[in-house]
Amino acid sequence: MALEPKEESDTIKLGIPQSTDASAVHLLIQNSPPLDTNSLYCNLLQTSHFAKTAIVAKMNNDVVGFVSGYIKPEQPDTYFLWQVVVGEAARGRGLAKRMITALFQRDHFANVRWLETTITPDNKASQRLFESLAEGWQAHIDVRVLFEKEAHFAGQHESEELYRIGPVNP
Ligand SMILES: CC(C)(COP(=O)(O)OP(=O)(O)OC[C@H]1O[C@@H](n2cnc3c(N)ncnc32)[C@H](O)[C@@H]1OP(=O)(O)O)[C@@H](O)C(=O)NCCC(=O)NCCS
């Protein structure tokens, strides 16, 4: 794991993930409802081709947090955050916020001004996380439905609301 330039003072270390982290990431997501599990192959792509736009948190070499996402191909000023997960034991100490903030401090994010993610209306923890980030950045949040329950999920999944936050200046 390549460490972030500014290593945090406690024992949780943040870094650019490697493909060998994918199976632990897969397990962490599996154990973190209400997140949708993706295939392990998908996690392999996130931790290899998309590693610069992902971040892993490790405590004693165990994966305890992960953020995946990508810079939108047609909108290079916008980072789309796919999933954020923190293992139960590491929650409530600011790790999710730390990981997202560290991503935006990378050179790779120099031209990124907007953060987008989707959240289901019942996910209060995630809503609070992104509201808190926006407050810290003194940025606005726009919310609109991106993927609708019936039209996109054939009624099998709640609607996903798009949160667009910015301009971001961490
Ligand atoms: C959502 C999740 C990533 C938060 O991780 P975390 O490291 O505990 O979050 P943080 O400590 O950075 O908290 C960030 C803010 O969210 C708030 N928050 C975190 N969990 C919360 C909860 N369960 N209920 C209400 N607010 C919550 C914190 O109080 C904090 O707000 P503050 O800055 O005003 O104090 C974690 O609970 C998780 O992985 N959940 C399961 C997966 C999931 O739902 N992911 C998001 C959808 S992609």
Q: What are 16-74's pLDDT values in tens digits?
A: 999 999 999 999 999 999 899 999 999 999 999 999 999 999 999 999 999 999 999 99
Mean pLDDT of the chain: 94
Cα angle at 140 between 68 and 129, to 5 degrees?
Answer: 45
86: Cβ below 6 Å to ligand 1? yes
For residue 83, give every residue at least 6 positions away whose Cβ sits within 8 Å of its Cβ, in sequence order, or none. 29, 35, 66, 67, 68, 69
81: Cβ below 6 Å to ligand 1? no
Two structure tokens written together for 26: 């897969």
For residue 157, report the phi and psi dihedrals to the nearest 5 degrees.
Answer: -155, 145
Best mutation site among 31, 86, 124 for ligand 1 pocket (most ligand atoms within 8 Å of CB) = 86
pLDDT tier at 135, thresholds 50, 70, 90: very high
159: Cβ below 6 Å to ligand 1? no
119 alpha carbon to ligand 1 midpoint, in Å?
A: 12
Two structure tokens written together for 15: 């870094």
With beta carbons less than 8 A apart as the criterion, state whether 98 and 66 touch.
Answer: no
Name which of 1-15, 60-74, 82-96, 125-139 the model is least confident about.
1-15
Helices 95-104 and 124-137: angle between axes, nearest 10 degrees: 50
Helix ranges, the chain (H): 22-30, 40-46, 95-104, 124-137, 149-153
Containing 162, the helix (H) or strand (E) segment is strand 160-166
pLDDT tier at 9, thresholds 50, 70, 90: very low
Ligand 1: nearest atom to the Cα of 86: 39
31: Cβ below 6 Å to ligand 1? no
91 alpha carbon to ligand 1 midpoint, in Å?
A: 7
Q: What are 111-123's pLDDT values in tens digits?
A: 999 999 999 999 9
The DSSP secondary structure of 5-27, one letter per residue, reads: SS--SSSEEEEE--GGGHHHHHH
Residue owning the nearest CA to atom 16 of ligand 1? 129
Buried b (16+ CB within 10 A) or exposed e, 30-66: eebeeeeebeeebbbbbbeebbebbbbbbbeeebbbb
